[in-house]
Amino acid sequence: MKINGTIQSNFNPYQKQLQKQAEVKQEMKNKEDKLQISSQAKQLQETAKPDPARQKRVQEIKQAVESGEYNIDPKQTARKMIAFWNNQP
């Protein structure tokens, strides 16, 4: 029996699979991720930004609380809480 070396080059059954894997890896490297933000999302981002007037008011309240000058009227707080809960479904 005579064995030639030329047949052995076609003997590896996994060679095609390895080539396909290499091609897929190369294709994945060439692809880029893309992101598109809809106009609704952009509008939501704009409305989510804090209002400067509100931020100023919050800072004023923080300073008043820290300095001990901020007084809370418990009756007014109770009235507002009752009004809020009465309007709930």
Total-model pTM = 0.38
User: What pLDDT digit, counting tens, does each position of 14-30 carry?
Assistant: 777 888 888 888 888 87
In tens, the pLDDT along 2-59 reads 666 555 556 667 777 888 888 888 888 877 778 888 999 888 888 888 888 999 999 9
For residues 39 and 46, the answer to whether their CB atoms sit within 8 Å is no
Can you tell me whether residue 33 is helix, strand or coil? coil
Residues 76-79: contacts with CB within 8 Å, 24+ apart? none
